[in-house]
A and B are shown apart, each in its own frame.
Chain A
Amino acid sequence: MLKFKIERAPAPAWMRAIIPLLAVPVTFLLTTLFLLWADANPLQAYYHFLIAPLSSRVSAIEVLVKATPLLLTGAAVAFAFSAGYWNIGAEGQLYAGAMAGAWLGMILKGVSPLLGIPLMLLGGFTAGMLWALIPALLKVRLKVDEVVTTLLLNSVIVFLISFFLNGPWRDPISMWPQSPEIDPGTIFFKLIPRSRLHFGFIVAVAVLALEWLVLKRTAFGMRMRAVGLGKEAARFAGIKVNRTMLTAALVSGGIAGLAGVGEVAGIHFHLIESISDGLGYSGIIIATLGGLNPIGVGLAALFIGLIDTGAQTVSRAMNVPVYLGTVVQATLLLVTLGLFVLQNYRIKRG
């Protein structure tokens, strides 16, 4: 058995800043094992992983495309976590937003983009909020643990979408269960011609900037952080804990919903069952890596976007399975979690 014990002892300020940055080299050191297993030269692989994607315009843009939904799910999770609401349901709330996008894309026939796009955003936000409403109400009214309820609702909405895609919303001309292509007036415009980078990226950056403003500069944000860091103390200071948590949960759901709309209106143009495939869960990783700080969340999302793109580059160039990206992401998270402990505790041999 490992013989060590942990004592509370805050690390000096300079070390606190360095510790999260240490996670990157440690992660790549650990994942070298996987590269060796795949018979790949690690240095060459890291080049393809981290540098190659940024060295060409096309793949650098692709990093931003990959980061777009991650910026939003990361922002969503960080917002809820900041208020001490453990929203594991960004995945489901993203699907809810995607459903709203697909539905609006079907019913808004011949709409002008000036009206269509705002409606899509509004619809996605509302849908994500509604899907977040049930567990949030159960939490504040009946103290039902939100971790389990939000997690289970992720599965429920996948079945719900599957039902719609195999039934009422099924596109008759497609071989796959998918909804009809959305109306051109509801499609998010491209930011750069002939790329996949769309308006959703701007939305994502704006949301993060707004989130930073709310969390760091407004009275509501301070109340939220107080609730997240100490519910009893917040209540004692006269803060309405339940209302604050409810608001944070709903806004979080709404932001995740925006990510879903972006995927429908900017990338796929119809709803498919695997439209998220873990983007919501990645949001939890990103929020954690970013230390719940919107700026950190932004950087973490871009980094994960880079890893996702890099994994494809490595896969193409060196025939290393693309799932290396997932392994690196997960290892990075686990290593960071471990290192965060060092910020406040000291490990002693015991």
Chain B
Amino acid sequence: MPVIQMQGIVKRFASLTANNHINFDLEQGEIHALLGENGAGKTTLMRILYGLYHADEGQILVNNHPVTIRSPHDAIQNGIGMVTQHFTLVPTLTVAENLTLGQAGSFILNPLEIQRQVEKDSQRLGIPVKPAALVRHLSVGEQQRVEVLKALSRNARVLILDEPTAVLVPQEVEILFDALQRLRQEGLSVIFISHKLPEVMTICDRITVLRDGALVGTVAKSATTATELARMMVGRENFGVARQSERQPAGPLLQVEALQAQGSKGLPALRGVGFMVEAGEILGIAGVSGNGQTELGRVLAGMLRPSGGHIRVDDKNLTGAGPAELAQAGVGCILEDRHASLVDDMTVAENLVLDQLDGFSRGGMLNRARILENARKWIAEYQIKASPNDPIRQLSGGNMQKVILARNLSRTPKVVIAAQPTRGLDVGATDYVRSKLLEQRARGAAVLLISEDLDEIMALADRIAVIYEGSLMGILPAQAATVETLGLMMTGKTLESIRPTPEADHA
């Protein structure tokens, strides 16, 4: 008997249809994977089920009864719990307080009593937590356990997990999977959002595949193979854009040595990262999200001061330089966060000249005709669907990214840093961005591509490095890289430990 049925769900954001008439059903006591690439619409669908978004069309049935879910509160009432990728815990409260939040109960709170209650639930459900600890003092894995316990202690009969393994080390993944298997036997139904085939094949009973906001199909695990799932997910023979020729080594342009930096919580995020990128090559940095990629991108863009190490561009020391200095030295950056790269409330034309105003003004006065002309030129050349005086916030993600590319690549930088350049973009925009990066490589720029999308790295990079907990696990040529090797490195195995005689590129 299905516990959840979602029928004909449609959700639109501005120009993008994130969910296009999707049907989805969940059986009692199954682990059901929702599989698809980044941007396929998996998370959107589940946020609708949990009341964080509202569907434009379609209906939801719980135990065969139509329900209206307007808020997480309604979802909880219907026995639905969700653990999102960004944890929704209050860092200044204790674990017990976080678990009590939103629960019905006596007006007066006795801290010891709620801690005892949490301890009890924790033991009953087999999910260990520290009730009296402040959440801000917990590791990511511990926080996730608190989230799972939070959902279950509210008598959730349906648990949605959004990419739960993205932030976990392998041992923690194992603990999570054991717990899920056990809970399933006790009658819990689980929706498991993922884009990783192996874990889906390990843990799930049925698999629903989404692609570009549309339903591809639902299959039982016993009736499918990883290869078939991959074909359903991608739907194309290969990526539209991939590296064609092999490169000619042409000397290092970007050199990074023993780079250290602190993350937003003051903890070390980069612990001595070193690599170099040569002219005319793409170096890919792969890794599970949250292993220092964000900080690496920000340090190289001059947005975050390194706490140690050196950055050299074309033999010029640029350690600790700001964005203006780096741009001067020939570094072009694409930041991970598009909204932090452009001023949303300023126009396309203004954003296109914001970093080079001295070239568009005389005696401090703006040359408005030239600014407009400049915008027209880049809009035409990068096929940006906007007019010069449109505010950035009206643009789609793909067009925003094109504005960023136009501004940063128009100065033909020697070094290009691209952090998650295609995240959340549709297929067309993704291909466009990738082709632009290859164009930079072809004209002899050194390109550093930081991406959590392994397929993207394997399609574009000449050499691949893997980052894990702020250190590189090794660098290897793309020809020698297999998904298995990279997968092991992404869980913290160094290249040397995998292959006693490494073919690693020590250059």
Contacts and interface: CB of A to CB of B under 8 A. Distances in A.
Contact of B361 (A218, A229, A230, A236): A218
B361 A219 contact: yes
Given A219-B360, A233-B340, A238 B355 contact: yes
A236 B350 CA distance: 14
Contacts of B340: 230, 232-233, 236
Interface string A126-148: 00000000000000000000000
A239 B323 CA distance: 8
A14 to B, nearest CB: 17
Contacts of B365: 217-219
**Residue of A218, A220, A222, A239 ringed by the most chain B CB atoms within 10 A:** A222
Contact of A236 (B341, B345, B358): B341
B53 to A, nearest CB: 11
A237 interface: yes
B354 A239 contact: yes
Contacts of B368: 217
A235 B364 contact: no
A225 interface: yes
B323 A238 contact: yes
Interface in B334-382: 335, 337, 339-346, 350, 354-355, 357-358, 360-361, 364-366, 368
A223 interface: yes
Given A218-B366, A219-B358, A230-B340, A236 B346 contact: no
A219 B364 CA distance: 5
Contacts of A223: 354, 357
Given A229-B346, A235-B303, A218 B364 contact: yes
Contacts, number: 76
Tell me whether chain B's interface is mostly helix, strand or loop, or mixed. Answer: mixed
A223 B303 CA distance: 17
A20 B357 CA distance: 32
B51 interface: no
B226 interface: no
B305 interface: no
A89 to B, nearest CB: 25
B204 interface: no
A220 B364 contact: yes
A226 interface: yes
**Residue of A10, A219, A222 ringed by the most chain B CB atoms within 10 A:** A219
A318 interface: no
Contacts of A229: 343-346
B324 interface: yes
B70 interface: yes
A234 interface: yes
A218 to B, nearest CB: 5
B85 to A, nearest CB: 22
Interface string A200-228: 00000000000000000111101101100
A233 B343 contact: yes
Contact of B303 (A222, A230, A236, A239): A236
A232 B336 CA distance: 12
Nearest to B335: A236
A226 B354 contact: yes
A350 B51 CA distance: 13
B438 interface: no
A237 B346 contact: no
Given A219-B360, A239-B354, A230 B345 contact: yes
Contacts of A235: 303, 322-323
B343 A219 contact: no
A10 B339 CA distance: 18
Nearest to A10: B394
Interface string A302-319: 000000000000000000
Interface of B: 70, 301, 303, 322-325, 327, 333, 335, 337, 339-346, 350, 354-355, 357-358, 360-361, 364-366, 368, 394
15 contacts: A217-B366, A217-B368, A218-B361, A218-B365, A226-B354, A229-B345, A230-B344, A230-B346, A232-B303, A233-B342, A236-B303, A237-B323, A237-B355, A238-B324, A239-B355
Closest 3 CB pairs of A and B: A238-B324, A232-B340, A237-B355
Given A229-B344, A230-B344, A236-B301, 17 more contacts: A217-B365, A218-B365, A219-B365, A222-B354, A230-B340, A230-B345, A233-B339, A233-B340, A233-B343, A233-B344, A234-B354, A237-B355, A238-B322, A238-B323, A238-B324, A238-B355, A239-B354
